[in-house]
Amino acid sequence: MPPPTRPQTARTTRTGTPTARRKRPAPTLRPGTAADNAGEEDDTPVLSYPAQDENNGGSQPDDMVGEEDKNSVALTSKKALELLEKDGLLTPAPPTTFTSPAWKEFMILTDLFGDETAFCVCNTNRKRQRTLDEFSTVAPNRPTKHRVAEGCVRVCVNDGRPCQSFASESMKALFEILLDIGKRSKARLILGGQYGLLPHPMTLSRNIVKIHKLAQLDLAALLRTLLLVPNDSMAGALTADLWEEKYSRLHYLGLTVHYVEEFVLKVRRFALLDFDSTATHSASNIENQFCGLFRDRFTIPVADIRAIFTSDSESAMLSCFNGLRCACHRLQTVLKDTFVHKDSGVPAHIRTIFVCASNLVTYFRKCGQAAVLPSIL
């Protein structure tokens, strides 16, 4: 067996098994000719390498090496790696030059000369590569839709939930998560019990605060992008409204942000403050509530906000925000003053018609027969 020279460099396949590069021929197993100092033939295969050039250490041309023995058996990459590691030609070692914690899951193979030849991954990595079919979408067939509809009806009847709950975006997001988990699972998952997929109600209640904090961070980042960063494609507008609850006499201050994303108008209600009922609805009190919200909850200075404010025609709101008046609110005020107000100059019978029509619409919206109408009033 010739003295060990620089071995072949290896690369890593998807499964983590190093294979030989094509620059140099792979080692082969050749039958031995004669045992040392015995003169007897030995059938044990030995590991041999191609002839090396004395000048540069490379492989000799084919005419100098001669025709390869027909009885030689080619080694697989896994077997070659085992033999090389057994002979001490390759040494696995953890990486030392990388600082990322992800490299703790890898091992580096080094040769006799200290050169890195391959990276071997452990079993914590993905064993099955994702295919393009997992990223495509397909419409469900009629039997599948019938099964889903039947299950949704049973949920509404047994749990007393409204049918509209299945049309919400949060319910669709939950179904997307469950479908993705089921698609990646090889066996049928357990739903209930200690080891089931569905969480316990106690677990849900414990995670409410945690998820709320994460949602607050995402909302704060969105508001900074919409209100602080000058961006022509993502600019936001704020709507503020102050009202009094009819029965409890509590006052609330609501804030909503409007923005366009992917050519779709988005509306996000991000705050509902309990306004002090003992304080007056002055511009200074409203401003203190508004500034405290952005300063304490979202760490956004109000002086740096670059957004348009929209509010109703109340004098305190206009003095506080100095923004635009809501067009719908102004139209509603004009119609009310024109047809309902006693001092509007409209005859009494016309005002009576408008009041009766308003009461009729209110009655129909509350009764069950409104479901048979083609559209909602």
In the chain, where are the structural domains located?
10-121, 138-204, 222-325
Tens-digit pLDDT profile for residues 136-186: 778 889 999 999 999 999 999 999 989 888 988 889 999 999 888 888 787
Residues in the chain with pLDDT < 50?
7-73, 121, 123-125
In the sheet with 91-93, reading across from the earlier edge strand, the strands are 91-93, 106-110, 116-121
**Longest Cα pair distance anywhere in the chain, in angstroms?**
131
Helix ranges (H only) for 160-281 are: 169-184, 201-227
Query: Around Cβ 111, how many Cβ atoms within 10 Å?
Result: 20
Q: What pLDDT score was predicted for residue 297?
A: 85
∠ CA 91-92-96, nearest 5°, is: 115
- Which is nearest to 244 in space by CA: 270, 293, 279? 279
Q: How many CA atoms lie within 13 A of 334 on its CB side?
A: 6
Q: What pLDDT score was predicted for residue 153?
A: 94
Q: What pLDDT score was predicted for residue 313?
A: 75
- 10 Å CB burial of residue 26 (0-12, 13-18, 19+) is middle
H or E element that contains 257: strand 251-261
